[in-house]
Structure 1
Amino acid sequence: MTSDVSALSGTGVTGSATIHANLTAPGLYAHALRRGEGRLSADGAFMAVTGQHTGRSVQDKFVVDDPESRDAVWWGKVNRPLPVENFRAFTTKVRNWLGEKPELFTQDLYAGADPAHRIRVRLVTTNAWHALFARNMFIRPPVEELAGFKPDYTILHAPEYEADPAVDGCRTGTLIALSFAARTICIAGTSYAGEIKKSIFTVMNWILPDRGVLPMHCSANLGRDGDTALFFGLSGTGKTTLSSDPERQLIGDDEHGWSDDGVFNFEGGCYAKVIKLSREAEPQIWDASHRFGAVLENVVGDDYGSLDLDDGTLTENTRACYPIEFIPNTVPGGVAGKPRTVVMLTADAFGVLPPIAKLTAAQAMYHFLSGYTARVAGTEKGLGKEPQATFSTCFGAPFLPRHPEVYGRMLAERIAKDGAEVWLVNTGWTGGAYGTGKRMSIQHTRALLRAALDGSLAKVEFETDPFFGLSIPKAVPGVPTDVLNPRNSWADKAAYDKQAKHLVSLFEQNFETFAGAVSDDVKAAAIRAAA
Structure 2
Amino acid sequence: MSIVIPTKKDVSLHLGGKKHMNLSVSKLVEHAIQKKEVILTETGAIRATTGAFTGRSPRDKFIVQEPSVSGHIDWGTVNQPMQPEKFEQLLKRLRAYLAEKEVYIFDGFAGADPAYRLPIRVINEYAWQNLFVHQLFIRPSKEELASHQPEFTVICVPNFVADPELDGTNSETVIAVSFEYKMVVIGGTHYAGEMKKSIFSVMNYLLPEYGVMPMHCSANVGKDGDVALFFGLSGTGKTTLSADPERSLIGDDEHGWSDKGIFNIEGGCYAKCIGLTEEKEPQIYHAIRFGSVLENVIVDEDGKPDYHDSSLTENTRTAYPVDYIDGSVIPGIAGHPSVIVFLTADAFGVLPPISKLTPEQAMYHFLSGYTSKLAGTERGVTEPEATFSTCFGAPFLPRPAHVYAEMLGEKIAKHQVQVYLVNTGWTGGPYGVGKRMDLKYTRSMVRAAISGELSHADYETDPIFGLAMPTSCPNVPVEVLNPRNTWKNKQAYDKTARELAQRFHKHFATFENVKEEIRQAGPNI
Given the two structures, how large is their TM-score scaled by the length of structure 2?
Answer: 0.95
SS of the residue aligned with 1:305?
coil
What is the aligned counterpart of 1:485 among 482, 485, 494? 482
The residue that corresponds to 2:333 in the other structure is 335
The residue that corresponds to 2:322 in the other structure is 324
The residue that corresponds to 2:431 in the other structure is 434
What is the CA–CA distance in structure 2 between the aligned matches of 1:161 and 1:309, rounded to whole Å? 31
What is the CA–CA distance in structure 2 between the aligned matches of 1:42 and 1:484, rounded to whole Å? 42
Cα-to-partner distance string for 1:247-289 (whole Å, 9 max, x where unaligned): 1111111111111111111111111111222222222212222
> Does residue 175 of structure 2 align to residue 176 of structure 1?
yes
- Assess if the C-alpha contact under 8 Å between 1:475 and 1:484 holds in 2: yes
The residue that corresponds to 1:311 in the other structure is 309
Q: Once the 2 structures are TM-superposed, how far is the Cα of residue 389 of structure 1 from its aligned partner?
A: 1.0
SS of the residue aligned with 1:198?
helix
Cα-to-partner distance string for 1:128-186 (whole Å, 9 max, x where unaligned): 11111110100000011112211110112221111110111001111110012221100
- Assess if the C-alpha contact under 8 Å between 1:155 and 1:184 holds in 2: yes
What is the CA–CA distance in structure 1 between the aligned matches of 2:213 and 2:223, rounded to whole Å? 25
The residue that corresponds to 1:6 in the other structure is none
Q: Once the 2 structures are TM-superposed, how far is the Cα of residue 231 of structure 1 from its aligned partner?
A: 0.6
What is the CA–CA distance in structure 1 between the aligned matches of 2:298 and 2:104, rounded to whole Å? 26
Q: Once the 2 structures are TM-superposed, how far is the Cα of residue 528 of structure 1 from its aligned partner?
A: 4.1
What is the aligned counterpart of 1:402 among 378, 399, 404? 399
The residue that corresponds to 1:137 in the other structure is 136
The worse-fitting range, judged by mean Cα deviation, of 517-526 and 179-188 is 517-526
- Assess if the C-alpha contact under 8 Å between 1:255 and 1:265 holds in 2: yes
The residue that corresponds to 1:91 in the other structure is 91
Q: Name the amino acid aligned to 1:340.
A: S
The residue that corresponds to 1:18 in the other structure is 18
Q: Name the amino acid aligned to 1:182.
A: Y
Q: Name the amino acid aligned to 2:20.
A: H
What is the CA–CA distance in structure 2 between the aligned matches of 1:127 and 1:458, rounded to whole Å? 51
Cα-to-partner distance string for 1:455-503 (whole Å, 9 max, x where unaligned): 1211222222211111122333333333222223323222221111101
Q: Gaps spanning 5+ residues in structure 2: where?
A: 1-8
What is the CA–CA distance in structure 1 between the aligned matches of 2:408 and 2:115, rounded to whole Å? 20
Given the superposition, is the C-alpha separation of residues 146 and 477 from structure 1 closer, same or farther in structure 2, using an over 3 Å criterion? closer
What is the CA–CA distance in structure 1 between the aligned matches of 2:132 and 2:459, rounded to whole Å? 47
Cα RMSD over matched residues? 1.7
Given the superposition, is the C-alpha separation of residues 303 and 438 from structure 1 closer, same or farther in structure 2, using an over 3 Å criterion? closer
Given the superposition, is the C-alpha separation of residues 444 and 277 from structure 1 closer, same or farther in structure 2, using an over 3 Å criterion? closer
Q: Once the 2 structures are TM-superposed, how far is the Cα of residue 15 of structure 1 from its aligned partner?
A: 4.2
SS of the residue aligned with 1:100?
coil
What is the CA–CA distance in structure 1 between the aligned matches of 2:447 and 2:33, rounded to whole Å? 46
What is the CA–CA distance in structure 1 between the aligned matches of 2:380 and 2:372, rounded to whole Å? 11
> Does residue 64 of structure 2 align to residue 41 of structure 1?
no
The residue that corresponds to 1:459 in the other structure is 456
Cα-to-partner distance string for 1:3-23 (whole Å, 9 max, x where unaligned): xxxxxx985121423211011
Report 1:79-478 matches (<5 A). Answer: 79-101=79-101, 103-289=102-288, 291-377=289-375, 380-382=377-379, 384-478=381-475
The worse-fitting range, judged by mean Cα deviation, of 292-301 and 482-491 is 482-491
- Assess if the C-alpha contact under 8 Å between 2:466 and 2:524 holds in 1: no
Cα-to-partner distance string for 1:345-377 (whole Å, 9 max, x where unaligned): 112121211111111111111101111112224
What is the CA–CA distance in structure 1 between the aligned matches of 2:266 and 2:295, rounded to whole Å? 19
- Assess if the C-alpha contact under 8 Å between 2:47 and 2:293 holds in 1: yes
- Assess if the C-alpha contact under 8 Å between 1:177 and 1:187 holds in 2: yes
- Assess if the C-alpha contact under 8 Å between 2:121 and 2:154 holds in 1: yes
The residue that corresponds to 2:71 in the other structure is 71
The residue that corresponds to 1:527 in the other structure is 523
Cα-to-partner distance string for 1:488-520 (whole Å, 9 max, x where unaligned): 332322222111110110001110121x13222
Given the superposition, is the C-alpha separation of residues 488 and 310 from structure 1 closer, same or farther in structure 2, using an over 3 Å criterion? closer
Q: Name the amino acid aligned to 1:436.
A: V
Given the two structures, how large is their TM-score scaled by the length of structure 1?
Answer: 0.94
SS of the residue aligned with 1:267?
coil
What is the aligned counterpart of 1:506 among 497, 503, 507? 503
What is the CA–CA distance in structure 1 between the aligned matches of 2:227 and 2:71, rounded to whole Å? 35
Q: Name the amino acid aligned to 2:515.
A: S
The worse-fitting range, judged by mean Cα deviation, of 235-244 and 17-26 is 235-244
The residue that corresponds to 1:4 in the other structure is none
- Assess if the C-alpha contact under 8 Å between 2:89 and 2:166 holds in 1: no
The residue that corresponds to 1:56 in the other structure is 56
SS of the residue aligned with 1:506?
helix
Given the superposition, is the C-alpha separation of residues 282 and 383 from structure 1 closer, same or farther in structure 2, using an over 3 Å criterion? farther
Q: Name the amino acid aligned to 2:91.
A: T
Q: Once the 2 structures are TM-superposed, how far is the Cα of residue 327 of structure 1 from its aligned partner?
A: 1.2
What is the CA–CA distance in structure 2 between the aligned matches of 1:477 and 1:18, rounded to whole Å? 60
The worse-fitting range, judged by mean Cα deviation, of 404-413 and 47-56 is 47-56
What is the CA–CA distance in structure 2 between the aligned matches of 1:398 and 1:327, rounded to whole Å? 28
What is the CA–CA distance in structure 1 between the aligned matches of 2:404 and 2:457, rounded to whole Å? 31
What is the CA–CA distance in structure 1 between the aligned matches of 2:437 and 2:122, rounded to whole Å? 43
What is the CA–CA distance in structure 2 between the aligned matches of 1:326 and 1:405, rounded to whole Å? 36
- Assess if the C-alpha contact under 8 Å between 2:109 and 2:138 holds in 1: yes
Q: Name the amino acid aligned to 1:457.
A: L
What is the CA–CA distance in structure 2 between the aligned matches of 1:10 and 1:47, rounded to whole Å? 37
Q: Gaps spanning 5+ residues in structure 1: where?
A: 1-8
Count of residues in Structure 1 that have an aligned counterpart in Structure 2: 517
The worse-fitting range, judged by mean Cα deviation, of 456-465 and 206-215 is 456-465
Q: Once the 2 structures are TM-superposed, how far is the Cα of residue 58 of structure 1 from its aligned partner?
A: 1.0
Given the superposition, is the C-alpha separation of residues 319 and 480 from structure 1 closer, same or farther in structure 2, using an over 3 Å criterion? closer
> Does residue 28 of structure 2 align to residue 28 of structure 1?
yes
SS of the residue aligned with 1:242?
helix
Q: Name the amino acid aligned to 1:185.
A: V
What is the CA–CA distance in structure 1 between the aligned matches of 2:10 and 2:287, rounded to whole Å? 34
The residue that corresponds to 2:4 in the other structure is none
